[in-house]
Amino acid sequence: MKKVERYFYPAVFTYEPNQEIAVTFPDLDAATSGENEDDALISARELLGCVLYGLEEDGEQIPSPTPLSEVTMQNNERVVLVDVYMPSIRMAQVNRSVSRTVTLPAWMNAAALERNVNFSQVLQDALREKLHLMNPFSAE
């Protein structure tokens, strides 16, 4: 099944005096907030990407977005169409870092620290060599 490149979902921005702007996605049962409209929109896009990526990865049904004209609002609310470009969300998840705990002799740790060795980079280089992998971001 071909994955969707861009999703569009209505978000309800709720304005209350002296509070952050609350943002809810009625179709996704998800919410966030922002200090101002720019921040609220950025938070909404990030949340939308995370929620939809999670649904895709779990093989769950992606709900259809409600048409903007059918979203109900209160006087202090506005509906905003929020979009997310999924290829960049998916790539960010593939390239995200994960933490691993390693054990090595104290003398080796001391020698590496003395020489300002980047442990993460050394481990990545060694694993790339051991697994016969190319660095996808190098000009090799």
Could you tell me the CATH number of the domain that includes residue 15? 3.30.160.250
31 forms beta bridges with: 24
For 55, the domain range is 6-94
Residue 122 neighbours by CB under 8 Å, 6+ apart: 112
Same structural domain, 24 and 69: yes
Same structural domain, 54 and 12: yes
Same structural domain, 43 and 71: yes
pLDDT of residue 7: 97
pLDDT of residue 1: 56
Same structural domain, 16 and 85: yes
Same structural domain, 102 and 85: no
User: Tens-digit pLDDT profile for the chain (140 aa)?
Assistant: 578 899 999 999 999 999 999 999 999 989 999 999 999 999 999 999 999 999 998 999 999 999 999 999 999 999 999 999 999 888 887 766 777 888 888 999 899 899 998 888 898 888 888 888 876 555 44
pLDDT of residue 136: 56
Tokens 């895709």 correspond to 56
Domain count, the chain: 2
pTM of the model: 0.69
pLDDT of residue 137: 52
pLDDT of residue 135: 61
Let me know if residue 119 belongs to a domain: yes
Same structural domain, 89 and 104: no
Alpha-carbon span 114 to 73, nearest angstrom: 61
Same structural domain, 88 and 108: no
C-alpha dist (Å) from residue 28 to 1, 47, 102: 22, 10, 39
Let me know if residue 1 belongs to a domain: no
pLDDT of residue 138: 52
pLDDT of residue 140: 46
